[in-house]
Structures are given as C-alpha cells and as structure tokens.
A and B are shown apart, each in its own frame.
Chain A
Amino acid sequence: MSPRPSALAAAAVLCVLPLSACTPNAPTGGDAASAPLAVTSSADDCAVDATEAPSGPLSFSVSNDTDQVTEFYLLAEDGLRIVGEVENIGPGITRTLTVQARPGEYFTVCKPGMVGDGIGRKAFTVTDSGAEIRLTGDLEDQGEKAAADYVAYVKDQVGQLVTATASFADAYRAGDDATARSLYAPSRAHYERIEPIAESFGDLDPKLDFREADVPEGDEWTGWHRIEKDLWPPAAADNGGAEYAPLSAEDRNRFAGLLVADTGELYDAVHDEGFEVPIDSISNGAVGLLDEVASGKITGEEEIWSHSDLWDFQANLEGARVAFDGVRPIVEQKDGELATRLDARFAALERRLAAYGSLESGFASYTDLSTAQVKELADGVNALAEPLSTLTAVLVG
C-alpha cells in the first residue's frame, strides 16, 4: 500500500488527456525531436514563431504572458478536432506540447481564461518530411475497448475480493486462526491486483491497507494489517519492547466487521455507473503497481508479520501485466520496440518470481530469501519498471 492514496485520484483528474486529444499517428521511433517552436500566449494573440514545420515529432514550447491560466491547442484542418493540447499553464509558466504530426493543414490557438473560442487562431502547415508516420485510424476505438476491459477486470477482482474477505473474516471471528492464516494472503491477492484503483478512493485504502506505522496519531488502525498482526503476533522485541496483547473476541468481531464493510464500500464504488478508468490511469496504474513492489514488497515492509510479501508481489505483477496487455495493441502500433521489450521484461520477472512459488501452491516466506535472492528480484523490478514508466507518454503522446 501507499500512504498517499490520493495520488492516482488526482492524476485521474488532472492528467486526463482524452484519447481523442492525442495524435492518431504512429511515430517511426528514434527520431530526435527538433527544437520546440516557441508559442507566446498573450492577452490578444497566440504568437507561434513559425507557420510551418516538417512532419514527425513536433514540439511547442508555450509561454503564458497573460495574467490568467491559459491553454494551447493544435487543431485539425476542420478547426474542431483536437490534435494536441496543453492545459493549466499558470501565468508566467512555460509548458511543452509534443505531438506526432503528419503532413496537413492545422490551426493553433490559445485560450487564456480557459473559456470561449480562444485567441489568436492561426493556420499552421505541416509539410511532408518523408518521415514515415503510419496511419492507424482505429486507435481511439482500441483505447475505449482497453478502458472497458480494464473496468470489467477491476469489477471482477473486487467481486472475488468480497467473497474471499467474507470467508477470511468468518474464520477469524470464529477463532479459527489456522484457517484465517491460510486465507489471508490468497484473499489479499484480489486487492493487490487492483491496488491503484482502491487507492484512488480517498479514504478506503487507509482503512483497508494501512500499515501500523502509516497511521496518524489518534486515528484507529484498522484493516488487513491490523488483523495480520493479531494472527501472527510479534515477540516483544519486535513490538517496540512491549508484550503484544491479543485482540479480544469483541475487537475481533469489530475489526472483521469493518474489513467486510469497507470492502463492500469498495465494491459499491467500482460498480457505480460513473466509475471509469481513463487510459492514462491504466498505464500509470501499471507503473504504480511496480512501484508498490519496489518500495514495499521487495523490502519486506508490507507484510511485516505474515511475511507473505511474495504473494502481494505476484498479485501486483499480475495486475500490471493485465493493465499492460489491455493497452498493448495500441503500444504495438505506436512503439513496437517498447511493446516487445516489456513483453520480455515481464516474462523474465515472472520467471524469477515463479522460482519461489505461485498463488495456487503458495510462496516462500520473505524471510526465507537470501539478500542475493531479494536483490535479483529487485533488479528484475527495476528492469521492468523503467521502460514501463514510459508507457503513458507513448499512449497519450
């Protein structure tokens, strides 16, 4: 988990570049972008320091000379369809827009104050540089399909989570600790696969997945890890020197009840008809899952009492793989090399992790791994996460 649950939510709000706003073109890859064209958004103009540019990667460096928040658009020949945009440019600030431009006629326009038709609309021509830009046409449809598939995946996982959590909670309430311990990690896998989505609902992740150290003073610690500690009670030396006091039957009932109720809230949230996942959140979520592995699981900090970190690792990895596979057809058309590299890196990391078990047969305890073994896994995470972190820019750029 991450103590900063709102990161994805904010990203989903601030980072949405509707796919329609992105260039429906495929880069040939490898071209160094030429120097950006300077654009100055002023009270009465939207000055661009050139009226034409060669086709291929095209950058605009947009400076805001107004005293309002401004936006810059590259519009298609019809003057309506958005080919590229950059928003939320504060006064005095410069932002860059990069698009893959194919030959044709366009318009540039600025929108200080973010309302109206804009200011300083000008014709802009992209000449044919000979750079190969493959037309794809249906990327937009593919994006919508990827988003719909991913939403269905999330709903399915949360549905399974609800069932698994109920069984786990029943065993724990009944004092059947052996069963509860055996259900703990497999149940959590459903959560770990879609963790960035759960984190996007403000206060749900803190209630469900906070570790003891994440809890602000005065707040009550609830959720999976509260119960984890009770099922794998620490020795005094690992508990700040204090003897661990087992939870009473009453407390067990309460914490199990809260876990079930909060999971139910998550279920309702992802089944709300307004629930959707923009395509950049799918790709950012994939990176987020790998970051979770890198900062929590690979260090053994996530499951500090049960040491079931490798289960979470596997589930995070599976969730990232699903997210990537969903957008892969788009990536393949825009940057085939990246798609191939990610395939290979996913496979390599999956193979390394499989050496320690599986979700079906169980994983080795984190504490059974040597430092060298953990490092090998960490190297695999870095090897995958580094190219994966470029995915969003490829998807929306």
Chain B
Amino acid sequence: MPAQPEGGERRGLSRRGLLGLAGAGVVGAGAGAGTDRAAMALASGGATASTVHSFYAPHQAGIVTPAQDRLHFASFDVADITRPELVELLWDWSDAAARMTAGRSAGEYGPADGPYDAPPDDTGEALDLPASSLTITIGFGPTLFTSADGRDRFGIAARRPDALVDLPAFPGDALVDTLVGGDLCIQACSDDPQVAVHAIRNLSRIAFGRAALRWSQLGFGRTSSTSRAQATPRNLFGFKDGTANVKAEDTGLVDDHVWVSPADAAAWMTGGSYLVARKIRMIIETWDRASLREQERVVGRTKGTGAPLSGGEEFTVPDFSATGRADAPLIDRDAHVRLAHPGANGGAMLLRRGYNFVDGNDDLGRLNAGMFFVCFQRDPRRQFIPIQRRLAENDAMNEYLRHVGSGIFAVPPGARTGSYVGAPLFGD
C-alpha cells in the first residue's frame, strides 16, 4: 500500500504555530528537516521495502490489515479535561499517528532536530527504522461516554452506541482490577517491536496531562492470520490458532461480521468496529504436562498440521458429527474448536488479532505467559459475549486458562485526510 500524503501535517504545523510552541522561523526550519525516519532509513541504505499502511482511510488500519508480528496495546484514563481538550488530544494523536505510520517522526522536528534547548519532539528509538507496517488503531471505552460515577464528562453519553455494553462477568473470570477497562485505547501493531513501542511511548507522552496510561501490554508472535496470504501461526500451547478466522479477502464476511453498517444504531460508528481485548494467562506448566492425546482432545485439532480431528488438513471444515470408537465424537463435545465454531454460535464470527505474551515470571517461578486476545466485530452482544459465555462454561481448555485482563472499545471509522479519529462523534 503506498503512503498517502499526510493531510494532518499541515494542520499540525499551523496549530503548532497558533499554540505558540515554536516561532515562525523555527517552523520553517522544521518543515524542511531531514531527520524524518523514512528519509534517514533511505539515506542509510538499510531500508527494505517496508510496507506503509495509510492512517487516513475509510476504516482504521490495524483491523483487516494483515496481522503484523508485534503489538503494543495501551489503555488510557482521560484526565479531568473539557470536551474541546479531549478533541484536541484526538487531533494530536491522529496527527502523530499519521506521521509515524508513514515512517516519520511523532513530531514535526524529529528526534535530532528542533530547538536546541527544547527536548526533541520524538523520543528517537525508531529513528533509523522504516515504517515496519505500523498501524495505530484508536478506540473509545464505555467510561468515556459515562464515567464510573455516572457523569457525562464530555456531553456524549447520549451518543454511546447500544453495542458498546459493559462486558458481563464470565464464569472463571480472574480479572485483575489494574488490567481492566479504560476510557481510550490504542492498538499499535508493527513488524518491529521497537516501532510499536515507539508509537505508544510517543502517544502517551503527547497525552500527558490529558490522558494517562492505565494498563498496557506487549505482544509478540501474532496468534491469528487475517489474510489468506499469511500462514497460520501458533500460540503458546503450540497449536495453530485462528485457522477459521475471518480473513480480509472474505469481504462479504468482513462486512457482515466486522464493520458497523449504516443500518446499525449510532450512525457515527458506521465503518467502525468494536474491539474486545482479553488478557488470557495460560497455565503452560500444567498444559506442558498434559499428554498429546489430551492436548489434541482439548483443542479438537492435531498439533502437527492443525487438521480437525474429524480428518482432512488444516482448512478442512470440521465434521462435528464424525464419530470414532464406541460412537464417541472424534471432536470432543467440549473441544475448543467445537464450541468456538460459528455453527455452535448461531453463525457468529470474530475477526481475531491476538498476540502471545510473556511478562517475565510470577512469584511462584511460573512464566507469566499467555495470549493477549484481541477481536473485532460488528456487535459484541451478538458475537464476543455469547461466544465467550459458551466457552467459559464448557471449553475443555479453561482448565489451562485464566482471564486476567479485559476491555471493550468502540473503534470509530478511519479519519478523513486532514481530520481526526472520532470526528463524527463530536460532530466535526
């Protein structure tokens, strides 16, 4: 995908001038600065053909975009600010996101330029790195519309979409307060972990005083493919994951299951989607002690090829009626693949975009490992919630899982060139 001109840049420059953060002369110098990441990378000759995903698009990037290898996800609490200040934050984030996804610096000067007595407006760790398929996806949590104590801080409570529900408690939930919720979220995905971290770091910095990090998560090794061009990766259980995921090429499915349509309530969300994130700790020590027979029974697929236990190869449709010895089903009644399958959920599907994580180890010397599950959908009330309820009650895999973190966010449509993410919500 070719880079688009950054519509936000001009506005960013003019706004910066208006805000008096830099003198006119300095702006002129900055505009011609040669320290942009893309330029540096080219100059050093080290840049390969790095993919650039345009920030300004009808849908936000980072949803049907072929899943990158790395994730940095962040949830934010918005400070006690006004509606215009919130809009200003979304403008600033959008401007910076447009620059960074194009392989440029977060600010217009870059990390090695600008006023010598001012701190650089980009932190610099991505200076020599290409765009690396970076996508930045911004979402709005339920508490942005109505705060936990019931206040309509930004005059948008009435515009909260019905589909943006508070997630119910699921059986077996072991949620940790510090890993739940958030007013805003940013999903940064990239093929280079440093580029993803750079994005969240700089966007957090831009937000200081207006929004503060609530919780964040690094992920490596995508656990789903979102395009037929991608091989199915493996999760930390060692199994292929997301074989039956909604793929970008299935445009009909994507329209039906991922994008909010004009027919759905909350017109400002048209072309958007709903993101549900779950931090799922895997008890890998006990999993690793389970026999191969048990592991395949729990998943319902072979560990090697990922074929359903009813036969075939990875992409063969599972035959849930197939039986083996003593007429027992080949795919167990509690197997993950059976319970998660659209056929068991009234046809409901999710576009999954999860990542593996290992956050060091816990006090007991166990790897603090698992999956940071991210999914996108048109309506969580018909998709994630009933599917997860079914899994939480019956999935044989639950013995090896703990859901410790959770969040739900409305992801508005993409920003128009020269506008910002969420403009339709605020009537801009």
- Chain A: which residue is nearest B313 at the CB level? A92
Instruction: Note all chain A residues with C-beta closer than 8 A to B399.
Output: 2-4, 7, 291, 295
Cβ distance A361 to chain B, nearest Cβ, rounded Å: 26
Interface on chain B toward A: helix, strand, loop, or mixed SS?
A: loop
Contact B286 A90 (CB under 8 A): no
B173 contacts chain A at the CB level, 8 A cutoff: yes
| A229 to B304 Cα, complex, angstroms | 45
Known: A90-B309, A90-B312, A91-B311. A213 touches B171 (CB 8 A): yes
Please provide the chain A residues from 1 to 30 with a CB less than 8 Å away from any CB of chain B in the complex.
2-4, 6-7, 10-11, 13-15
Contact A93 B325 (CB under 8 A): no
Instruction: Note all chain A residues with C-beta closer than 8 A to B395.
Output: 4
Instruction: Note all chain A residues with C-beta closer than 8 A to B311.
Output: 64, 69, 90-93
Contact A389 B289 (CB under 8 A): yes
User: Which stretch of B76-84, B262-270, B358-366 is in the interface?
Assistant: B358-366
Instruction: Note all chain A residues with C-beta closer than 8 A to B364.
Output: 298-299, 374-375, 378
Q: Chain A interface residue count: which class?
A: 35 or more
Instruction: Note all chain B residues with C-beta closer than 8 A to A374.
Output: 363-364
- Chain A: which residue is nearest B173 at the CB level? A213
Known: A114-B324, A294-B286. A93 touches B171 (CB 8 A): no
- Chain B: which residue is nearest A387 at the CB level? B289
| A367 to B398 Cα, complex, angstroms | 26
B308 contacts chain A at the CB level, 8 A cutoff: yes
A100 contacts chain B at the CB level, 8 A cutoff: no
Instruction: Note all chain A residues with C-beta closer than 8 A to B176.
Output: none
Instruction: Note all chain A residues with C-beta closer than 8 A to B290.
Output: 389
B144-176 Cβ-contact flags toward A at 8 Å (1 or 0): 000000000000000000000000111111100
Q: How many residues of B contact A (CB 8 A)?
A: 49
| A375 to B362 Cα, complex, angstroms | 10
Instruction: Note all chain A residues with C-beta closer than 8 A to B366.
Output: 378
- Chain A: which residue is nearest B293 at the CB level? A15
Contact B365 A375 (CB under 8 A): yes
Cβ distance B37 to chain A, nearest Cβ, rounded Å: 44
Known: A10-B297, A375-B365, A378-B365. A295 touches B286 (CB 8 A): yes
A215 contacts chain B at the CB level, 8 A cutoff: yes
A59 contacts chain B at the CB level, 8 A cutoff: no
- Chain A: which residue is nearest B324 at the CB level? A88
Contact of B302 among A93, A287, A375 (CB under 8 A): A93
B383-421 Cβ-contact flags toward A at 8 Å (1 or 0): 000000100110110110000000000000000000000
Instruction: Note all chain A residues with C-beta closer than 8 A to B6.
Output: none
Interface on chain A toward B: helix, strand, loop, or mixed SS?
A: helix
Instruction: Note all chain A residues with C-beta closer than 8 A to B305.
Output: 93
B307 contacts chain A at the CB level, 8 A cutoff: yes
A251 contacts chain B at the CB level, 8 A cutoff: no
Cβ distance B320 to chain A, nearest Cβ, rounded Å: 12
Contact of A93 among B168, B307, B396 (CB under 8 A): B307
A157 contacts chain B at the CB level, 8 A cutoff: no
B428 contacts chain A at the CB level, 8 A cutoff: no
B334-363 Cβ-contact flags toward A at 8 Å (1 or 0): 100000000000000000000000000001
Q: Which of A10, A11, A64 has most chain B Cβ within 10 Å?
A: A10
A residues near B, CB below 8 A?
2-4, 6-7, 10-11, 13-15, 64, 69, 71, 87-88, 90-94, 114, 213-217, 284, 287, 291, 294-295, 298-299, 301, 371, 374-375, 378-379, 382, 385-386, 388-389, 392-393
B residues near A, CB below 8 A?
168-174, 283, 285-286, 289-291, 293-294, 297-298, 302, 304-305, 307-313, 316, 322-326, 328, 330, 332-334, 363-366, 389, 392-393, 395-396, 398-399
14 pairs, CB–CB < 8 Å, chain A vs chain B: A15-B293, A69-B323, A71-B325, A87-B324, A88-B330, A90-B309, A93-B309, A94-B304, A114-B324, A213-B171, A213-B173, A284-B291, A294-B283, A301-B174
